[in-house]
Amino acid sequence: GFDAGYLKIKCLYDSFRFDNSVLFWRQQGGAYISLSGGNMTISGGAVCTEELFEFLSLISPSSVFCPEDTAIKLKNNYTAVNVMRRLGDISGETAGDRLSSDELYKLFDIPDISLPPYPEFAVDWCRRLNRGCAEYYGIKEKCAALSFNSGNYALINGIVSKEKGYGKKALTAIIQKNRGKYIIACCEDRLTGFYEKYGFEKLSKRFAIINEYK
């Protein structure tokens, strides 16, 4: 199945490969792993569970994103997410506003989304944007969508809508901004229908989010 973990790591690597505060490594011939600001991502591929347990108990990451079968091995409570995909084949452009990192942060600062402190968000976001590794669409105080990209793929990192109908608008606009790429979104079961309605297919390999690894 499609490896959403590897794509997340690759998006991070493209912007932060020379940053000593972000760690990247690979278990012997198996899974790739990244650690950034307490958030760990594990790709598909063989995992050495023993080594992983040892490392996790040492650092206690604030979140882990990994394949569902890896989450089961880690014996932690997790939230399963589906990986959704569609081709970015919508032409044209949807008119939106230029938003500062502060305005974007305020839009995404809602109970459903766990955000890092603003200074961390701003540094991460501005670096990705300046390096051409991110896109966004927004309308002040109404909606926003963010995506990170690497190669032929764009990963939707968040969509927020404060008024009815604006979710569709933000999703359409971020697809337009990534024209020609495969658009990937990771979402819980309750949001799968929203993406399917707008042409996304659900892929077979499921991933998992572990919050507050213990």
Give burial (CB, 10 Å; 0-12/13-18/19+) of 212: exposed
Q: Is residue 115 part of a domain?
A: yes
Are 10 and 76 found together in one domain?
A: yes
**Structural domain of residue 47, as residue ranges?**
4-82
Q: What is the Cα–Cα distance from 131 to 124, expressed in whole angstroms?
A: 11
Are 90 and 67 found together in one domain?
A: no
What CATH number is given to the structural domain containing 121?
Answer: 3.40.630.30
Last residue of one domain, picked from the residues 28, 59, 82: 82
Are 72 and 95 found together in one domain?
A: no
Q: What is the Cα–Cα distance from 154 to 88, expressed in whole angstroms?
A: 9
pLDDT digits (tens, 9 = 90+) for 45-102: 999 989 998 988 888 898 999 999 999 999 889 999 999 999 999 999 999 999 999 9
Pairing relationship of beta strands 201-202 and 63-67 according to DSSP bridges: unpaired
Q: How many domains does the chain have?
A: 2
Last residue of one domain, picked from the residues 32, 63, 82: 82
Last residue of one domain, picked from the residues 62, 82, 102: 82
pLDDT digits (tens, 9 = 90+) for 95-125: 999 999 999 999 998 887 778 889 989 999 9
Q: Is residue 213 part of a domain?
A: no
Q: Is residue 21 part of a domain?
A: yes
Give strand pairing partners of 146.
Answer: 136, 158
Label residues 87-120 b or e (16+ Cβ within 10 Å = b).
ebebeeeeebeebebeebbebbeeeeeeebeeee
Report pLDDT for 1: 76
pLDDT digits (tens, 9 = 90+) for 21-44: 899 999 988 999 999 988 999 999
Please give the distance of CA 166 from its chain centroid, rounded to a whole number: 20
pTM higher than 0.75: yes
